[in-house]
Structure 1
């Protein structure tokens, strides 16, 4: 799936590394890792005290644009999670 500009902007605004964030009243431990000089990104999120889980890869290609590759879940679930995720400012 080609990632929308809205998704891409929201994703790239997230901090690199591991952080706590919230969406839809739930808190998550989120890890965002960058590979290949910024051309490949991975995000994994685990809900604190719950079963929620998100996993995805994002590839920034020269010819096809930003390619979103969710890991065994619908792309819509990943898009909603990333576009609504707010990193906590206090831990």
Structure 2
């Protein structure tokens, strides 16, 4: 699955997703006319979270997790189910 495509499928602002038997509140912000994104997802009623910045430059697309392993962010993006 294309990570950028999954990021773009999330609506701007707040939404809720299902991931690994839990519901998450997700906030997506877009900057630089769609050339960078900030995603923060927090498990509702739990303590798990996912936080990432994604940058699109002329040379590359850069996935920059915030204080967590890259594989955790990719797994979340590849497997969330948008609820609303």
Report the TM-score range of the alignment, normalised by the length of the smaller protein: over 0.9
Aligned to 1:21: 17
**CA distance in structure 1 between the partners assigned to 2:6 and 2:64 by the alignment:** 16
Query: Normalising by structure 2, what TM-score?
Result: 0.93
Other-structure match for 2:51 = 55
Question: What count of residue pairs does the alignment treat as equivalent?
Answer: 84
Answer yes or no: is the 8 Å Cα contact 1:34–1:41 preserved in 2: yes
> What value does the CA root-mean-square deviation take over the aligned residues?
1.1
**Any gaps of 5 or more consecutive residues in structure 2?**
none
User: 1:30–1:43: 8 Å Cα contact kept in structure 2?
Assistant: yes
> How far apart, CA to CA, are the structure 1 residues paired with 2:26 and 2:77?
10
- In the alignment, the residues of structure 1 paired with residue 7 and residue 50 of structure 2 have an alpha-carbon distance, to the nearest angstrom, of 13
Alignment of 1:1-91 (within 5 A): 6-64=2-60, 66-89=61-84
